[in-house]
Amino acid sequence: METDLDHATALALLEWQIELGADEAIGDAPVDRYALAAKPAPEKVAPTVAPPSVSADPVAEAKAMAEGAADLGSLKAALGMYEHCELRRGARNLVFADGQPEARVMIIGEAPGRDEDRVGKPFVGRAGQLLNLMFDAIGLRRDSETAEAAFYITNVLPWRPPQNRDPKPDEIAMMLPFVQRHVDLANPDVVVLMGNISCQAGLGKRGITRLRGTWAEAYGKPALPMFHPAYLLRNPQAKREAWADLLSLQARLEGP
Ligand code: URA
């Protein structure tokens, strides 16, 4: 398509879009908006389904929907129908979980990044690869066929926040009933809280450097806060503490 834009103006417009959060091209094929504009607008049709009530309390609605889910499939479907979280509108996929739901260990991360958003599974990017290696070192794999040697993994948020920004408190609050139900249905022996956001959601506090390695209780289960693998990629010297935490997890699983 020909335009009168000079190079500098085109670049400035592109930078402006990136500042607004458009960090990826969504469509595979270009769309000629001029041709589209020439077509008559479709006639407005009255909606046949009532739009979600804007006055509803998002947390109360999340609680009702989550508690109504009888199994993990229904919980995923309930999340798919939950309209209050704006993040869903910018995400490509709902990222629900991966691994073995029967596993004794359930890992709870923060939110999908770009790779997870594209693939639709948690922890598949660089941080996820490190996480796989870490848990493999104590004999736990997400693709293990036996529940004993497996882990199950999810995130506090099932949708990618724009530009991987931290989730906001109201977004965490909306998702908490779903996470609680997720833990109830999977019923692991222990949960691992990966990083500050996961501690914020599960324990109501942050400060991972202080919290890590000390067993606590979250979602009604024994919970171990650990450094997030993304943090370990940036701070490899902290792998020593992460290894100590993995050994603590292993001891707990083998313990009486
Ligand atoms: N970081 C997370 O906390 N979760 C993911 O799924 C990926 C990166």
Q: What is the 3-state secondary structure (H, E, C) of 57-76?
A: CHHHHHHHHHHCCCCHHHHH
CB distance 167 to ligand 1 below 6 Å: no
For the question of whether the overall pTM of this predicted structure is more than 0.75, the answer is yes
Q: How far apart are the first and last CA of the chain?
A: 70
Instruction: Kindly give the parts of the chain with pLDDT less than 50.
Output: 1, 47, 49-51
The H or E element spanning position 151 is strand 151-155
CB distance 99 to ligand 1 below 6 Å: no
Q: Compute the distance from residue 225 Cα to the ligand 1 centre, in Å.
A: 15
For 101-121, how does the pLDDT look when each residue is reduced to its tens digit (9 = 90+)? 999 999 999 999 999 999 999
Atom of ligand 1 nearest to the CA of 95: 6
User: Would you state the CATH architecture of domain 58-254?
Assistant: 3-Layer(aba) Sandwich (3.40)
Following DSSP, what letter does each residue of 158-214 receive, concatenated? SSPPGGGPPPPHHHHHHHHHHHHHHHHHH--SEEEEEHHHHHHHHHS---HHHHTTS
The H or E element spanning position 222 is strand 221-226
Dihedral sign of CA atoms 217, 129, 146, 153 in order:
positive
Which among 74, 128, 119, 72 is positioned nearest to 95, based on CA atoms?
A: 119
Residue 20 corresponds to which amino acid?
L
Q: Compute the distance from residue 252 Cα to the ligand 1 centre, in Å.
A: 24
CA 116 – CA 54 distance, rounded (Å)? 30
What is the predicted pLDDT for the residue at 50?
46
What is the predicted pLDDT for the residue at 49?
47
What is the predicted pLDDT for the residue at 6?
73
CB distance 109 to ligand 1 below 6 Å: yes
Hey, is 1 helix, strand or coil?
coil
The H or E element spanning position 108 is strand 105-109
CB distance 198 to ligand 1 below 6 Å: no
What is the predicted pLDDT for the residue at 32?
66
Q: Compute the distance from residue 155 Cα to the ligand 1 centre, in Å.
A: 7
Q: Compute the distance from residue 132 Cα to the ligand 1 centre, in Å.
A: 12
CB distance 122 to ligand 1 below 6 Å: yes
